[in-house]
Structure 1
Amino acid sequence: METGNEGDFVDLTYSVEDDEFRQEIRQWLESNLVGRFARLRGLGGSGREHEAFEERLEWNRHLAAHGWSCVGWPKEHGGRGLNLQQQVIFHEEYAKADAPARVNHLGEELLGPTLIAFGTPEQQKRFLPRIIAVEDLWCQGYSEPGAGSDLAAVSTRARQEDGQWVIDGQKVWTSLAHTANWCFVIARTEAGSRRHQGLSYLLVPMDQPGVEIRPIIQLTGTSEFNEVFFDGARTDADLVVGEPGSGWSVAMGTLGFERGVSTLAQQIAFQRELQVITDLARSNGAINDPLIQDRIVQAHMGLDMLRMHGLRTLSGEQGIEASITKLLWAPWHRSLGELAMVVAGAGGLTVAEAPYLLDELQALYLFSRADTLYGGSDEIQRNVIAERVLGLPKEARV
């Protein structure tokens, strides 16, 4: 498969080697998602991270033991060294097999590539092997009560004392903090600095005095997001990624990795959700309504567009094409949740079992309300595109 060429062309054909690799990962998954692991199919993911966590952790370590962890990392850093086409194939086949959501996403897809790009040899040697083996689990300490999508407004502070960083502040919407033993934290380390200046990217152990984790109960009744309070928490002085004060560029690098090749697998999960909705519409007669039928067709077309855009972005295209990725999928997925409730009709208003057991489509609807907020709200994303990509005048800030 060629993911880039002159102009806007994206060649979606696969080479013989690509097809052979697809068969390899497909057969491996078929042979290994058996026995106790077979029960994990379809478990986990956004809004469902509580499902069989310990069992999915075991599965994640099974993947690692057979070389299927951190597949896109360079071989010199312990990865499998797959090229872009093979990474796409791996993530697609993993999703098609309905394999359980991995518990190691933040370490594997975000922190690991960040350390490879910005970390010291000592940091790489210390942390990368433990991420590959799924021995360390990570969370992301970015958002704060006053600095959500506007990350430059961070107020969590850190100062050096006796060869360590001492950290005080609060983070919020911290995914999986309650299961993580490390956190990569953006903190203000230069007194009097503002906005993008004076921030540092710190690696902080979670299991220590001075770190308090408070789960946030979501509309779905689950709690994968958390508040995290740092009150004199400590980490070693050398556990800063990049130079002290240059954390903004490192943090932006991490966000770039977040929108990488694994997002194509996310779209396969979307396809599965859309198919459930379509099947329900056929079974309950909702598809006979021309308006609902039109919305289902539009959803299928929108999903095809997401895939085409995703492949084009991965081809190396820069600028607005890469910047609008979240503005495309988040509203589409939120609308899919709304469509699910329209198709479900009155039955979507009652829970499957008291006191609050939601079915798949109800959970989709409720959790997808957050899609246009987390990871950078739509409003902030539009500002970023306007100011940094299109060069429009900056919004006035107090």
Structure 2
Amino acid sequence: MIINSLLDTDLYKFTMMQVVLHHFPGAQVEYRFKCRNEGVDLVPCIDEILDEIDHLCTLRFRERELEYLRSLRFIKSDFVDFLGLFRMNKKYVTVAPSEKGNGEIDILIRGPWLHTILFEIPLLAIVNEVWFRRAARIPDYAEGRRRLDEKIALVTGNPELAELRIADYGSRRRFSRLWHEEVLLECKKKLGAHFSGTSNVLYAMQHGVLPLGTMAHEYLQACQALGPRLRDSQIFGFEMWAREYRGDLGIALADVFGMDAFLRDFDLYFCKLFDGARHDSGDPFEWGERLIAHYEANRVDPRTKTLVFSDALTFPLAIELFMRFRDRAKIAFGVGTNLTNDLGYTPLQIVIKMVRCNGQPVAKLSDTPSKNMCDDEAYLQYLRQVFEIRS
């Protein structure tokens, strides 16, 4: 089966889940799946996807896995105790052909946030691997290895890049579980000090690398429904995060309402409180310049802060960004699809996004409009008005 451990997911799922347990245990949410590729027929994959979900819902955290989580400084003991009782429940997930009849499928996840938050990453990994079992029945691993070696050589062969650090963020859109592990081990071996870690908690535990991650879009989206008022929802989300982690996990996500809205809310207090911010949409060079200028305007030395780039990164783009910003801030890179699904086939651009919380629409309005996802146009317009988003 594709998923054989509940740790086979991204770290930020656990960091957000801990906040949910401690602060929003009664929240009810809804997530929806979307494939951004045109002409991809996923309907023949449904039965296999459902079989994989059945297996996923039989898994429990093993004692070794719980002890590993307990060893992480920012994971609290009561949360690990909860995970010891936790099991995913397939009653919260439905998979069916889209009513459009064009090969798309509808995946709906609906239920308590605390009990549905872990579905996203394994479900995306399942859809990917099931699809590529059909689309690439005899995978060209030789080509994948050639491409990987070529990328690694770009970094290791240049002394100017001695401080460049790259992490694996590729769990959700990987070609397969086995290929993901091979890529990670090759990066650990050949990149050496250039390899900073992985978002995948299972591989971090098994292979002795650093697990990486803080928050995802769903956290700040849910705060639109959970905070005192919509206009303050981003501030509320950052405050609750700081209350939970007390200085740990200090990378803020910058693009749930776009960069303009982020900078309005990310005042001197948050500039000093958080270690940095993560870019996930829009022009990365413009984003970096604006964030550095914002730190300087707030009398904060940007060289003490971390800029994390994670949007559709390739190795050449990471190198270009590093050369632009290396002497002006701390720079980190998380490479996803281009690292774990680059064997010469067109990768699936699939996402699962939260669309409702406590019955209320929630949305992401990023600086890349194609990434926006909401099922209520009236709410989107209201959100734009409240956060003064003109595009």
TM-score of the pair, normalised by structure 2:
0.28
Greater relative contact order (CA < 8 Å, ≥ 6 in sequence): 2
- Name the larger-Rg structure: 1
TM-score of the pair, normalised by structure 1:
0.28
